[in-house]
Structure 1
Amino acid sequence: MTGKDSIYATEQQVKDFSFDANVVEVFPDMIQRSVPGYATIVSTMGKLAGQFAQSNSNLYDLGCSLGAVTLSMRRNIAKENCRIIAVDNSQAMVERCKMHLSGFKSDVPVDVQLGDINELEISNASVVAMNFTLQFIPQEQRLAVLQNIYNGLKPGGILLLSEKIKGENDEQDNLLIDLHHDFKRHNGYSELEISQKRTAIENVMRPDNLNKHLTRLSDIGFKQTQVWYQCFNFCSMIAIK
């Protein structure tokens, strides 16, 4: 069982957000109440993974958190001799992810690793998923991370990328932020919670705009890119090698 997210419900000296044990305990509630369409995103990523998975290949879930995307991929993979490698840099997340995965039987093996995506070798990959992960990597390191993924993908392999995005200008960005905050209010977050969470996350999550994402993926070498979901400032893309 997981609890209700009340981390920022009381006034406090706000520290930079981290995926620590306190967040792990409330993460499912936090993500459902904070990210519009999260269940649809996770479900669709699994279906796309099943469609593009290649026999005798690796599938990666980078920034796997509690393993939602990993589980979705496992449910949809029908090709032979596939393996999922799930990686996160939070010890608390990795430990809980292993517990979650142990409760689901599957013929698709999963290797859950504690690690730094910046130092990870991607190899023999048909699918790489990054579900709201790249946004937490320093902006100057993102190109190298994506290039490493591209280099490790097999021909016809895909990157599934979900990100919180900025608007193309300040006016558009403020509109998207206002819509997202209203979504959070509707899901029971108070003004104090919204304000303190924004303060906590602003130094550790720096979103790019959509055009930046698509241009960078094209420049790296992906032959096709497509946005398949967007609600407010949350967007999911597929890039095909």
Structure 2
Amino acid sequence: MTRSSKDLIYASKQDKVEKFVFDEDVAGVFEDMIQRSVPGYTALNQLLPIVANQFIQEGSNVYDLGCSLGEASISIANATNCSNIQIHAVDNSAAMIKQLQARLKSLNLKFPIQLIHDDVAAVDIIDGSFAVLNYTLQFIDRSQRDMLINKICTGLNKNGALLLSEKITYQDVNEEALMQQLHENFKRQNDYSEMEISQKREALENVLIRDTHEQHIERLQKAGFSKISVLTKYLNFVSYLAIK
């Protein structure tokens, strides 16, 4: 885990709330932000290397798509049982890549991590055994999501797997309202103020666009994944394990 400053981005009243972007301000507080905003984040990170070791194949490529500060990549590099793999950490945020680059200099990892500053949709997936797409698809234009999942599935080897984590929405309006309320209560419990919650919600409007559970399952099936399981679910945050 990185040493992150406390997230105070929305702690002061903003005359105009700008659209949320993964800039230097966000990168500087990202670890604190995600810990306090995403239920089950710590548990997922603890589970990730266990799942990865089940699927990573010797001599293959591993992809961390939308890597942010590289938590998944570093976890895999530290825990893998393989002796020859290549880990590719991809993010379109220059600020995130810059911070991850600095972080890696202080770590003695078993495997080097290749950092790629690019859109995840632009990266070739080749000879892959495991891919991570955590809280990334929801920020990608809806028209590009099917193509990206298809590309990942095509680039994975047989028995390779994708770990996909997303904040979902619900078809039932009452269930949607309840889960949104519980999520905001989770944030309150983690010391976010009403103003912070409100301004963050406004900043994310039309930026973080959620799909339903049914849409995720259908997309993964159409892409060619043969087995899809819900790995974890905390309120409206779900992680799927899709096996080719």
| Cα separation, 2, equivalents of 1:122 and 1:87 | 11
Runs ≥4 residues deviating over 6 A = none
Matched, 1:196 2:199: yes
| Cα separation, 1, equivalents of 2:188 and 2:233 | 19
| Cα separation, 1, equivalents of 2:125 and 2:223 | 15
- Aligned to 1:32, which of 28, 32, 35? 35
Matched, 1:99 2:102: yes
| Cα separation, 2, equivalents of 1:46 and 1:148 | 23
CA contact (8 A) 2:64 2:133 kept: yes
Please list, as runs of the form range in 1=range in 2, the aligned pairs for 1:16-55 lying within 5 A after superposition.
16-55=19-58
Aligned residue in 1 for 2:225 = 222
Answer with 123-132 or 70-79: which moved more: 70-79
| Cα separation, 1, equivalents of 2:109 and 2:53 | 14
Residue 101 of structure 1 and its aligned partner are, at CA, apart by: 1.9
Specify the SS of the correspondent of 1:87.
strand
| Cα separation, 1, equivalents of 2:45 and 2:140 | 21
**CA offsets 1:98-156 (integer angstroms, 9 cap, x no match):** 11122221222210110011211100100000110111001111000000101100000
| Cα separation, 2, equivalents of 1:103 and 1:229 | 31
Residue 216 of structure 1 and its aligned partner are, at CA, apart by: 1.0
CA contact (8 A) 2:74 2:109 kept: no
**CA offsets 1:159-197 (integer angstroms, 9 cap, x no match):** 000000001221111111000000000000011100000
| Cα separation, 1, equivalents of 2:117 and 2:4 | 22
5+ unaligned residues in a row in structure 2: which ranges?
none
Partner letter of residue 20 of structure 1? D
| Cα separation, 2, equivalents of 1:52 and 1:104 | 24
**CA offsets 1:6-39 (integer angstroms, 9 cap, x no match):** 1001111100000000001111110000001111
Residue 79 of structure 1 and its aligned partner are, at CA, apart by: 1.4
Please provide the CA RMSD for this pair. 0.9
- Aligned to 1:211, which of 184, 192, 214? 214
CA contact (8 A) 2:10 2:199 kept: yes
Specify the SS of the correspondent of 1:104.
coil
CA contact (8 A) 2:63 2:128 kept: yes
How many residues are matched? 241
| Cα separation, 1, equivalents of 2:228 and 2:34 | 26
Specify the SS of the correspondent of 1:66.
coil
Please list, as runs of the form range in 1=range in 2, the aligned pairs for 1:17-166 lying within 5 A after superposition.
17-166=20-169
| Cα separation, 1, equivalents of 2:102 and 2:134 | 20
| Cα separation, 2, equivalents of 1:15 and 1:46 | 36
Matched, 1:3 2:5: yes
| Cα separation, 2, equivalents of 1:101 and 1:146 | 28
CA contact (8 A) 1:82 1:109 kept: no
CA contact (8 A) 2:78 2:110 kept: no
Answer with 166-175 or 132-141: which moved more: 166-175
Specify the SS of the correspondent of 1:71.
helix
Aligned residue in 2 for 1:168 = 171
Residue 47 of structure 1 and its aligned partner are, at CA, apart by: 1.5
CA contact (8 A) 1:47 1:72 kept: no
Specify the SS of the correspondent of 2:8.
coil
Q: State the TM-score, normalized to the length of structure 1.
A: 0.98
